[in-house]
Amino acid sequence: MNAPVLAVRNLTKLFADAARPDAMPVGVRGVSLEVARGEVVGLIGESGCGKTTLGRCIARLLDPDSGEVLVRDVPFSALKGHSLRNFRKNVQVVFQKPETCLNPRMTVAVFVREALRNFGIVANNAEARKRLVELASLVGLREAALEQYPHQLSGGERQRVAIMRALACEPELIVLDEPTSALDVSVQAQVLRTLKDLQTVVGTSFLFISHDVAVIRYMCARVLVMYLGVVVEEGPVEAVFGRPAHPYTRALLAAAPRIKPRAVDPIALRGELMLGDVRLDECPVRVRCPLAHARCVEAPPEFDLGDGHRSACWLSADTASRSVSPTAMKAAS
């Protein structure tokens, strides 16, 4: 069987608050995931739950405290020299705000050509020009934009350039961190459509980070739901969003606007997240969960609900065929 393009094993990256050394550190706790060739995996959760931190650790823009990131079965820690450079080429990131990665002093053509030449994807300027025109067409950018500077482009066009730059490297995986949430709704829809088409044509794997249920539903085949740095539910999108097993997922879905009636009774979490109330040895959602019961003072394992659908909630204990692993929280504490 082909190795997954990306495998993340028990990755932890925590940030302590220097002003409050006793407070619980925030970040990512013992997350594991896999992305297969050509697969689009979504990562969803409320603001501050660690989505960007995980994406940055995967692209090695941040060093994890522990755990491993493997691309095609090769662990990052084993990479040096040429293979490290190859990793950089193979794992690209598109951020929420394209301005943060575009160079204001370079035209689009010069900026993208740099990536093409740096990674030896083209041999000369003539080949680069041909590839630039192909890439512009792939991401739906008008050819004239190639000669323009970032400030001369619209927000949607700038994001298309960022996607074009990522694609130019011919990566195995693109981490898309809220790539459309800074765009207005109609432009968002166009860019999402482009990404979906691209994914079908080019077959690159995506890790798609978003806090928008509708966007994840449209883009992804599989989804991981995060709460406070831990994956609480994962599985095929139709299972996780159609038959959510974890109260946090149910609350997340209930908070998303919908036209059609919901198949699952909506629930809401109590109050706001107060880090001081959360304990690492219990379920992280317990203090806010309306369905919490006595058992939740013990951190739940992940329960296997079949077809890759898993939920880290004691409520799944009766329906699950087996428990899969100790909780990520326990593993990381």
* Site residues for ligand ATP per CB under 6 A: 15, 26-27, 45, 47-53, 211
User: How many Cα atoms are found within 13 Å in the side-chain-facing hemisphere of 45?
Assistant: 25
In the complex, minimum distance from the CB of residue 277 to ligand ATP, in angstroms, rounded to a whole number: 15
Among Mg ion, ligand ATP, none, residue 169 binds (CB under 5-8 Å by kind): none
Q: CB nearer to ligand ATP: give 48 or 140.
A: 48
Axis crossing angle, helix 125-138 with helix 155-168, rounded to the nearest 10: 130
Question: Phi-psi category of 178—alpha, beta or left, where left has phi over 0 and alpha has psi -120 to 50?
Answer: left
Candidates 46-54, 179-187, 232-240, 302-310: pick the segment binding Mg ion (CB under 5 A): 46-54
What is the bridge-based pairing of β-strands 40-44 and 205-210?
parallel
Pairwise CA distance, residues 159 & 139, whole Å: 10
Residue with tokens 């949607």: 156
Contact between 52 and Mg ion per CB under 5 A: yes
Q: How far apart are alpha carbons 218 and 215 in whole angstroms?
A: 5
- Min separation Cβ 53 and ligand ATP, Å: 3
* Minimum separation from the CB atom of position 27 to ligand ATP (A): 5
Q: Which is nearer to Mg ion, 52 or 194 (CB)?
A: 52
What's the chain's Rg over C-alpha atoms?
21
Instruction: Work out what residue 283 binds among Mg ion, ligand ATP, none; the CB cut-off runs from 5 to 8 Å by kind.
Output: none
Residue 15 binding target from ligand ATP, Mg ion, none, CB below 5 to 8 Å by type: ligand ATP
Q: What angle do CA 323, 326, 331 make, to 5 degrees?
A: 165
Residue whose CB is less far from ligand ATP, 60 or 85: 60
Q: Which does 211 bind (CB under 5 to 8 A by kind): ligand ATP, Mg ion, none?
A: ligand ATP
Q: Which two tokens stand for residue 290?
A: 């309306």
